[in-house]
Amino acid sequence: MKTAACLTLSLILTACARDKSASAPKAAVTSNLIPTSLDSSALSADPGPAPSINSARAMQYVREVVAFGPRPIGSANHKKLEDYILSHLKGDTVEDDAFTADTPEGKFPVRNIMAKFPGTREGVIVVAGHYDTNYPLRNTGYVGANDGGSSTAILLSLANHLRGKKRDGYSVWLLWTDGEEAVKQWTATDSLYGTRHLAEKWRNDGTLKKIKAFLVVDMIGDADLNVDRDANSTPWLEDLVYQAATRLGYQSHFFGRTIGGVDDHAPFMHLGVPCADLIDFDYGYDNVFWHTPQDTLDKLSPKSLEIVGSVILETVRMLDKK
Ligand SMILES: [Zn+2]
């Protein structure tokens, strides 16, 4: 996803540009800022087996999600996808955060979906990714295989990994966010509908204090996987993600450049929650496939889903021991 839109670049660019030319990620690149705080002793302390997701199943999830067609908020396909996600969480502890969003294109139902996997340790790690697809592109055949599809799928795979296991660590909440995309043009109020609502809700009911880390996955299925370091995320958590990637031998896919992103983590960052946005905002040369009908299944790879899924799980494991 998305991000989009803006995603990019708020840090280095002045504004969140929504059109591709203005938001060209290269403008945001600040070169290679690999964290220097790697602690090799910490890396060798727990060489346990690398956690992993079923990459073939993850890819199949993307295929099935894409098969619904465009899935913008308010659409029948969106509703089908809600039911699809819920059908794969039977038996899990599921909650939703449903409300009506007032947007520049009118009122729309928005529904964040969450599956909770309890742990033994006080506190929660959230892994979030959006499942809606770009509304302005709803009549173009745009299916958002990477932007919307990959995040939906990897969370379903993570649920499979977590289900039925005793968690010796923090609780993990998987969060399918909704209304991440702008309905007209990306602004602070036309974007991130779901996470802005949820962050406020959690601030009011005290949940926010329990959140130890908020990880976002977005556009992580690209066969040419280059996850960006995000300057608008929490540095120590980004460092931890990089350590996790290094432990698994996947560091060459991470943090080759740094961008400043506005994504689903932003509302939580603003409220002081440690966040890391895992996004590959270089989808095709110069990000050409992003927010175009060319965001299709053939650009994705199950290996990329596996890499990101494993790094997420390893990051969670490291957080559990932190
Ligand atoms: Zn998007």
Tens digit of pLDDT for each residue in 253-276?
A: 999 999 998 999 999 999 999 999
Better-scored residue on pLDDT, 149 or 17: 149
Q: What is the CATH number of the domain that holds 32?
A: 3.40.630.10
Residue span of the structural domain in which 134 resides = 3-321
- Is residue 20 pLDDT above 50, yes or no? no
Alpha carbon of 149 to ligand 1 centroid (Å)? 10
Alpha carbon of 169 to ligand 1 centroid (Å)? 33
Alpha carbon of 109 to ligand 1 centroid (Å)? 19
List, as ranges, residues with CB under 5 A of the ion ligand 1.
1-2, 4, 147
Alpha carbon of 3 to ligand 1 centroid (Å)? 5
Alpha carbon of 4 to ligand 1 centroid (Å)? 5
pLDDT at 48: 72
Across residues 117-125, what is the average pLDDT? 98
Write out the DSSP string of 136-193. TTTTTT---IIIIIIHHHHHHHHHHHHTTS-EEEEEEEEEEE---S-SSS--SSSS-H
Better-scored residue on pLDDT, 219 or 34: 219
pLDDT at 24: 35
- CB neighbours of residue 168 within 10 Å: 11
Partner residues linked to 96 by β-bridges: 113
Partner residues linked to 171 by β-bridges: 124
Alpha carbon of 155 to ligand 1 centroid (Å)? 17
The per-residue pLDDT of the chain, averaged, comes to 89
- The b-or-e profile of 18-54 (16+ CB within 10 A means b, else e) is beeeebbbeebbeeeeebeeeeeeeeeeeeeeebebb
Alpha carbon of 133 to ligand 1 centroid (Å)? 7
Pairing of strands 93-103, 106-117: antiparallel
pLDDT at 50: 80
How many structural domains comprise the chain?
Answer: 1
- Is residue 14 pLDDT above 60, yes or no? no
CA end-to-end span of the chain: 30
Q: How far is residue 72's CA from residue 136's CA, in Å, rounded to a whole number?
A: 8
Tens digit of pLDDT for each residue in 85-103?
A: 999 999 999 999 999 999 9
Alpha carbon of 182 to ligand 1 centroid (Å)? 8
Q: Which of 148, 177, 214 is nearest to 4 (CA)?
A: 148
Least confident stretch, 33-42, 141-150, 215-224, 280-289? 33-42
Alpha carbon of 165 to ligand 1 centroid (Å)? 33
Q: Which of 290, 175, 140 is nearest to 222 (CA)?
A: 290
pTM for the structure as a whole: 0.89
